[in-house]
Structure 1
């Protein structure tokens, strides 16, 4: 079975930081990659970096998590999808989303990444206040 690849894309270095955080929890992840749009780069620069990052990978085995829907990184990949690339793109990435993807790969099963990402958003202050009642 071919290994699935996860590409984290973001404005600034968020994608690299998220990868580093996931590896702190889950250990080194050779199938997780980051591509960052830096302040002095254009959409074309980002597309070149992204294309280089996925070179040699099986496109059907690539999932892309983007920081923000409508931002340059997600828009560049969206255009590639509209042009026929068979990438899976999900926006709103967070650490629970990445951890869920990694766990599903380790367990060999599919997962609802979006639900996991949303479930990771918790108002802890409100939760603690409700526990005192």
Structure 2
């Protein structure tokens, strides 16, 4: 069975920062990769970088987390999916989502990355205020 691969895509270096943060918590991760859209990159440059990143992987085992729906990184991968590529793309990337992916890989369990991402959004002030009552 092929290893599953996660590719984080973003505007700027956000993807690299999310990967570094996940590795700080979970240790080095050889199955997480990043593709960043830099200011000097055209959409075609980004697509070439993304295609290079997936070239070594079995496509049915590639999951992609994008920073933002509707931006160049997500739109580029969306066009590839519409063209027949078998890639699982989710937007709204955050650290809890990536950690959930890592935990699901370690446990072998299916996971709901969207629920994990949403659960990571907490109004701490409101939570603390509720604890005082």
What TM-score do the two structures reach when normalised by structure 2?
Answer: 0.99
Count of residues in Structure 1 that have an aligned counterpart in Structure 2: 133
Q: CA separation in 2, counterparts of 1:117 and 1:48?
A: 28
- Spell out, residue by residue over 1:33-57, the C-alpha distance to the aligned partner (whole angstroms, 9 max, x if none): 0000001111000000000011121
Q: Does 1:50 align with 2:50?
A: yes
Q: Does 1:8 align with 2:12?
A: no
Q: CA separation in 2, counterparts of 1:77 and 1:115?
A: 22
How many angstroms does 1:31 deviate by? Answer: 0.4
- Spell out, residue by residue over 1:11-33, the C-alpha distance to the aligned partner (whole angstroms, 9 max, x if none): 00000000000000000100000
Q: CA separation in 2, counterparts of 1:33 and 1:125?
A: 34
Q: Does 1:87 align with 2:87?
A: yes
What TM-score do the two structures reach when normalised by structure 1?
Answer: 0.99
Q: CA separation in 2, counterparts of 1:128 and 1:78?
A: 40
After TM superposition, what 4+ stretches of structure 1 lie above 4 angstroms from structure 2? none
Q: CA separation in 2, counterparts of 1:23 and 1:85?
A: 28
- Spell out, residue by residue over 1:78-110, the C-alpha distance to the aligned partner (whole angstroms, 9 max, x if none): 000000000000000000000000000000111
Match of 2:97 in 1: 97
Classify the secondary structure of the residue corresponding to 2:89: strand
Classify the secondary structure of the residue corresponding to 1:70: coil
Which segments of 5 or more consecutive residues in structure 2 lack a partner in the other structure? none
Q: CA separation in 2, counterparts of 1:78 and 1:100?
A: 23
Q: CA separation in 1, counterparts of 2:14 and 2:53?
A: 17
Classify the secondary structure of the residue corresponding to 2:29: coil
Q: CA separation in 2, counterparts of 1:61 and 1:53?
A: 13
